[in-house]
Amino acid sequence: MHNLRSQVTDFFSPNMGHQIPLAILSVAVVLIGLWISNVLYDRGIPNYVSRKFGHLAGGIAFLIAFFFSGPGWPIMIATGFGILLLIARLVKPEIIRGVGGTGRSNKVIAELWFPWVAVPVFAICWLWLDKPAVAVTCLLFMAWGDGITGFVRSVVYRKAVKGWWGSLAMLCVCLIISAFFIRPFWIGVTASVAAVTEQSFGEYGIFKWGDDNWAIPVISMITILGLMAINKLL
């Protein structure tokens, strides 16, 4: 764990200026993903599929975050997109129709939770505990793990529904992610928690009051960090 002074120093890394191109790349990837989602939605692709391309692009941005020297840029980029998406939803929701907005029920704000949840995850895992790999892992569980479910739905069920085939595909993706980022790997096997969370939360899940876009990374983070704490790995 870092003390307050080191946390501030880590956030405002002296290398932040040199990493502006990396930040621009991250932003560009997300914008391209949002654009692709809109194009696919306009061509008749269901929103439960088109929005998953936004998931994949967001995942690439989360992966890029791992190459920053500190959590400053990732937190600022996530905050910025959170604000922009909120403004878009309130002022002109058709701009984000491919991932939400007018393309989805007004009661669901999943596209907003996507960047919002990254802020506390990066802050807790990276800024406070100096565990950037855990932050990236938990966010990729949401971005790529949950992202694969939409494609499975389109092939197997051909409708927006929670299904165990989608959860199985998500589990496989999350285990691969864990294999790259979490040590020891047995802690990463808690990827099963992410798959169960995806199945349980969201507008088609058991707990409709909770969106899976925040539930997956938060519950995964608590589980992984909890196991690390028990085994004195923090």
Q: What would the pLDDT profile of 96-137 be if each residue is shown by its tens digit?
A: 999 987 766 666 688 899 999 999 999 999 999 999 999 999
CB 100 within 8 A of CB 109: yes
Structure confidence at residue 45 (pLDDT):
92
Say how far apart CA 224 and CA 38 lie, in whole Å: 35
CB burial of residue 99 (10 Å; 0-12, 13-18, 19+):
buried
Say how far apart CA 202 and CA 199 lie, in whole Å: 8
- Whether omega for the bond prior to residue 74 falls within 30 degrees of 0, making it cis, is no
Those residues with Cβ within 8 angstroms of residue 131's Cβ, 6 or more apart along the chain or in another chain: 125, 225, 228, 234
Mean pLDDT across the chain = 88
pTM attached to this predicted model: 0.91
Residue with more model confidence, 149 or 161: 149
Res. 182: pLDDT tops 70: yes
CB 78 within 8 A of CB 127: no
| Strand ranges in 31-162 using DSSP code E only, listed in sequence order | none
pLDDT, average across residues 21-43: 96
Determine which of 8-12, 65-69, 108-112 has the lowest per-residue pLDDT on average: 8-12
Q: What is the pLDDT of residues 199-234, one digit of tens each?
A: 787 666 667 667 889 999 999 999 999 999 999 998
Say how far apart CA 86 and CA 92 lie, in whole Å: 10
DSSP-based three-state secondary structure for 201: strand
How crowded is residue 183: how many other Cβ atoms within 10 Å of its Cβ? 13
Those residues with Cβ within 8 angstroms of residue 1's Cβ, 6 or more apart along the chain or in another chain: 128, 129, 130, 234
Q: Looking at the 3D structure of the chain, how many domains does it have?
A: 1
Domain that holds residue 161: 4-230
